[in-house]
Structures are given as C-alpha cells and as structure tokens.
A and B are shown apart, each in its own frame.
Chain A
Amino acid sequence: MLYDAVLELADDHLVLGHRLSEWCGHAPMLEEDLALPNMALDLIGTARTLYDHAARLEGQGRDEDALAYLRGEREYRNLLLCERPNGDFAHTMLRQLYFAAFMAPYWQAALGSEDEVIAGVAGKAVKEMAYHIRHAGEWVIRMGDGTDESAARMRAAVADLHIYTGELFEDGAGDAALPSRAEIRPAWDATIAGIFAEALLDVPEVPFPQTGGREGRHGEALGHMLAEMQALHRAHPGAVW
C-alpha cells in the first residue's frame, strides 16, 4: 500500500530530523550549529510533505500533525538507524552519511515516479541528499584521518551503527510508485566504500543485522524521543498552534 510506504519514509525523515535538531546550540563549532539545523530542516520539510501526502492517501481526516504527534512508538515505522541517539559527533555524522548515501540514489530512482507528489519530493530531496553526503562524508574523512582520538571515535561509531544499515534495503510496505529499496544496495556500497577508503575505515561484516523498525519494533530510545516531542501537543487535545 502506498500509504504505508509513504508513512515509513515520512517517519524516517522526521525522526532523523528531530535527532539532528537536538544538536542546535550545542555543536562543536558555530558553523555546525548552522549546518546541523540546516540538514534537520531539509529532513523535517520532506517529512511534512510526505505526512500530508500519507494523510490524503488514507482519507480518514488526519493531517501531518495527527500522524506525527498522535501515534505511539509501536505505530512509528522508521528505520532503527534514524532513531539512534546522537552520541558524539562521529556517531551523528556517520548516521547521516549512511542515511543520505541511501536516500540520494533512492530519490534519484523516484524522480520518474507515477505519483506526482513523490516525484516532486524526489526532485528537491535529491539535491539535498547530495549535499548531506558531501557534508557528512567530509566529516567522516576528517575524523577518520584526523587525530588518534578522532580515528578511534570514528571506528567506534562504525562498530555501533553499521549493524543498523541492513534495514535500509528491506522493502517493507513497498509500492509500485516507489523504487525498490533492495536495488539501491550497489550504489550505497559504492558511496560508503569510497568515503571509508579516504577515512581509513574498514567496512565491517555484520553477521546479524538489527531490524524491526518497519514493524514498529524499535529500540528503547525512540519512546523517550517521542515522549518529549509529543508532550505539549498531547497535553492540549484539539488545540490549534
């Protein structure tokens, strides 16, 4: 069903956008205090269009805020990767690279979608994701090939996060209007291999990938994130903001 597939995508973007927004005002340098919200805004903007689209497809009178604020963690369908807590700057940038390296070819493939909204989102997002790969990729290289400490932190981030990347390629709800996620794998592998080579990082073998987000089986961190995000909205049912 297109509704389910669009909702999955929307959840990915909102959850990751929210995570990035947590950095605002707390980044390692002022330039990143500007760059991280910038990337967060790209993701939240895409999420809003997708939620609005999902709500129309569903036709039950819900809107973007009902979908974002009034579903609990078992109803969220985002990738586990997107909900991972920020950790240090190495974790945040690697998580961003993993996601953008997937979404860039995904949106590229979605440019010709028969669904006009999806094709429209793809046209905008394909440029944004290219920038996210560049920004996050350059940081992964700087940290991987920086100081001993930064290299160790970068390797730790790979060890922590790589186990969540297999889920990117699961087709989940799927729909003919959307690209096949499994087919994105070669492009993603190539992007990561290129950046890891420069960052002096090895691509690890993952015997048991962590999955479950698409079925609403999340890690423990998502519930806390949603509790914070939804508290005010839920405290005033029906209020207009």
Chain B
Amino acid sequence: MYSQGLIGADGRTEETQDFLDRFQRRIDAEEKIEPMDAMPAGYRKTLVRQIGQHAHSEIVGMLPEGNWITRAPSLRRKAALLAKVQDEGGHGLYLYAAAETLGVSREEMTEELHCGKAKYSSIFNYPTLSWADIGIIGWLVDGAAIMNQIPLCRCSYGPYARAMIRVCKEESFHQRQGYEICMALAKGTPAQREMLQDALNRWWWPVLMMFGPHDADSLHSDQSMAWKIKRFSNDELRQKFIDATVPQAEYLGLTFPDPEMRWNEEKGGWDHGPIDWDEFWRVVKGFGPMACDRIAARRKAWEDGAWVREAALAHAEKRRARKMAAE
C-alpha cells in the first residue's frame, strides 16, 4: 500500500546550477540514479521522505487488516489474509532497505514514526469494522496503491524503482484477492451484500483522497515531476482509478456514495462530486479516527520487544567474544 503522493516534501537544494543541470540531464536521459552517485541534497531528502512514508504505510497498514486475521470467516480466508498482511510487512522491510541506501537507518525512521514526525498513508487511520472492509481494502486501497506505484517502477532512483517492480506484482495479487472477497459477498446473503455496500460507503471517499490534493493545490509536485520521482499528477491518477473502478463496482451490484458521479462523454471519463478536503487534512494532520491507536500499537510492539532486541545483541556479542577467545 502507499501514501498519498508525498506529504510535506521539501525539494530545496543548495548545489551549483552547473551541478543541477548535469544531474537533470541524466534524469532527462532516463538514466537511473544509484546510491553512490552524486545527487542534489533536495533529491535525496525528497526520496528519504517519500520512501520512508511509503515504508511506514506498509507497516501501519498491517494493523487494520491484522484486525481481522483472528476472525476471518473461513480457514481459506484466514490463510490468505495472513499471507497478505505478511506481504505488506515484507514490502516495508524492502522499502526501509531502499531508504537505507540513501544514508538513513531503519531505527531513525522508526523513531520518527513513533514520535509522530514521519507521516504514513492516512487511509490506515480509518477503522476496519466488518469483514467486507478486508475485501474493500484489497480491491480499492491496494488498487489505488497500484495506480500510484506502477509509475514508480520507472522512478529515477534505481533502488526504489526496482523495489516497486516486485511490490507491484504482489499488490496486483492482493487486489484480485480483495475483489474475490467482494465477489463472494456480492453473491452471498442479504446481510453479506449489505456489509459490502456499507464498507464501500465508508471507504470510497478516503480512497479517492489517497491520490492527494488536486493538482492546483499540490505543493512540491513540479520538482518531483522534473526529477522523475513522480510521473503523473494526482488528478490524472485519481481519474484513471475511478474510470477503472466504476465497471468493477457495477459488476458487483454496488452503488457509489456520490450522487454526482456520472459519465462525461466529452472527457471520456467519470465525473465525481467534491472531495471533503477538510477531512483529508484533518486525517493527514493526525486526527483520523484510529490515528492514536495505530501509533500506540506500533509503539507498544516496539517497546515490549526492546528486551528481545537487546538479548539478541547481547548474545551476538557473547558469541563474538567467545570466538575471539578461542582463536
């Protein structure tokens, strides 16, 4: 899963114009930038922030779905959900490793998440209230993530781009898994169909917000576009997502919680009603319904596990000392 573009990027940089021009020529020639290459400080900072937010989103994203692992309604669903949430953890690990190539440690990034300094996708600050939420998250949240991440496979920074190729393959599988859950519910009892519609009603607008503010209000996007960290604008991706999703929802017999949603022949796409940006910014700023719980859960896991990590280090040190003494 993935955060809405980049929240609060700072692409300012201090290098000479000549250096910046040479760097830009490499970018324009579609050369991949690798960890040991010289790069503008702003480019590095933007990437650390973006990859960090992305990694945190994967980790925090384990919580809302993990909420249903112990209650999954069949053994098949239980195994699939467990494997799916495990994949998200794997993405987090992969992304932390990609960020580390830029000179920041996983511990530092974890620290920033726990103290509230680092952001993660605000979608995970909503609660999962029924089993249908698990289907909707796979279908729509992972679906939106794929829209955001496919272009990142061509991101100018090599390690991030390569990480995304593998992540996208798994996300695409997750999306199908989510849609399959939704199909079973759509074909199910009236209570199951109601559960599904209720989940769509609650998740639809937050999912659209995952693509970030409208282009006109999206600060920092231009520099990210020039550096080819970002390839499409927020609105372009959101439109693509809606156009792909509408027929899928129709197949399931679902209606969107948006009375203004209608086909626009002229643009060849769907129009949608106004997004509640107040809600978006409220959630981004840490006032989402589950924000406190999510960070508290991550902190608790980290603090409860401190003695385990200390034991592992102490044991490794003892082994090393014993080996030295024996030599």
Footprint of B on A, CB under 8 Å? Answer: 14, 18, 21-22, 24-34, 37-38, 40-41, 44-45, 47-48, 51, 64-65, 68-69, 88-89, 141-143, 145-147, 149-150, 153, 228-229, 231-233, 236, 238-241
Interface string of B306-327 (1 = CB under 8 A from A): 1111111011001000000000
**Bound CA–CA A240/B312 (angstroms):** 45
Which residue of A24, A26, A51, A236 contacts B189 across the interface (Cβ within 8 Å)? A236
- The answer to whether B310 touches A48, judged by C-beta atoms less than 8 angstroms apart, is no
* Beyond known contacts A21-B82, A65-B75: 16 more, CB 8 A cutoff: A25-B66, A30-B96, A37-B85, A40-B82, A48-B79, A88-B304, A143-B308, A143-B315, A150-B311, A229-B70, A236-B73, A236-B189, A238-B189, A239-B191, A241-B74, A241-B188
Interface residues of chain B: helix, strand, loop or mixed (majority): helix
- The answer to whether A142 touches B315, judged by C-beta atoms less than 8 angstroms apart, is yes
Write 22 A-B pairs (CB below 8 A) sorted by A numbering. A21-B69, A22-B70, A24-B69, A24-B82, A24-B89, A26-B300, A27-B301, A29-B305, A29-B309, A34-B90, A38-B86, A41-B83, A44-B75, A44-B82, A64-B75, A228-B70, A231-B71, A232-B72, A232-B73, A236-B191, A238-B189, A241-B185
- Judged by a CB distance under 8 angstroms, whether B12 is at the interface is no
- The answer to whether A37 touches B82, judged by C-beta atoms less than 8 angstroms apart, is yes
Contacts of A41 in B (CB 8 A): 79, 82-83, 86
Contacts of B69 in A (CB 8 A): 21-22, 24
- The answer to whether B93 touches A34, judged by C-beta atoms less than 8 angstroms apart, is yes
- The answer to whether B74 touches A233, judged by C-beta atoms less than 8 angstroms apart, is yes
- Judged by a CB distance under 8 angstroms, whether B131 is at the interface is yes
Question: Interface residue tally of chain B, by bracket?
Answer: 35 or more
Contacts of B76 in A (CB 8 A): 48, 241
Chain B, Cβ-Cβ closest to A48: B75
Chain B, Cβ-Cβ closest to A44: B79
Interface string of B159-183 (1 = CB under 8 A from A): 0000000000000000000000100
Which residue of A18, A22, A28, A33 contacts B308 across the interface (Cβ within 8 Å)? A28
Interface string of B135-167 (1 = CB under 8 A from A): 000000000000000000000000000000000
A14 smallest CB distance to B (angstroms)? 8
Which residue of A89, A232, A238 contacts B305 across the interface (Cβ within 8 Å)? A89
Which residue of B82, B93, B308 contacts A150 across the interface (Cβ within 8 Å)? B308
Contacts of A153 in B (CB 8 A): 307
- The answer to whether B62 touches A21, judged by C-beta atoms less than 8 angstroms apart, is no
A143 smallest CB distance to B (angstroms)? 5
Q: Which 5 A-B pairs have the closest CB atoms?
A: A28-B305, A146-B311, A150-B311, A28-B308, A25-B62
Chain B, Cβ-Cβ closest to A38: B86
- Judged by a CB distance under 8 angstroms, whether B9 is at the interface is no
**Bound CA–CA A240/B183 (angstroms):** 11
- Judged by a CB distance under 8 angstroms, whether B127 is at the interface is no
Which residue of B85, B90, B309, B310 contacts A25 across the interface (Cβ within 8 Å)? B85
Contacts of A238 in B (CB 8 A): 189
Residue of A64, A147, A228 with most chain B CB atoms under a 10 A cut-off: A147
- The answer to whether B304 touches A229, judged by C-beta atoms less than 8 angstroms apart, is no
- The answer to whether B314 touches A233, judged by C-beta atoms less than 8 angstroms apart, is no
Contacts of B315 in A (CB 8 A): 141-143, 145-146
- The answer to whether A25 touches B189, judged by C-beta atoms less than 8 angstroms apart, is no
Contacts of A44 in B (CB 8 A): 75, 78-79, 82
Contacts of A143 in B (CB 8 A): 308, 311, 315
Contacts of B39 in A (CB 8 A): none
A89 smallest CB distance to B (angstroms)? 5
Contacts of B181 in A (CB 8 A): 241
- The answer to whether B188 touches A26, judged by C-beta atoms less than 8 angstroms apart, is no
A65 smallest CB distance to B (angstroms)? 5
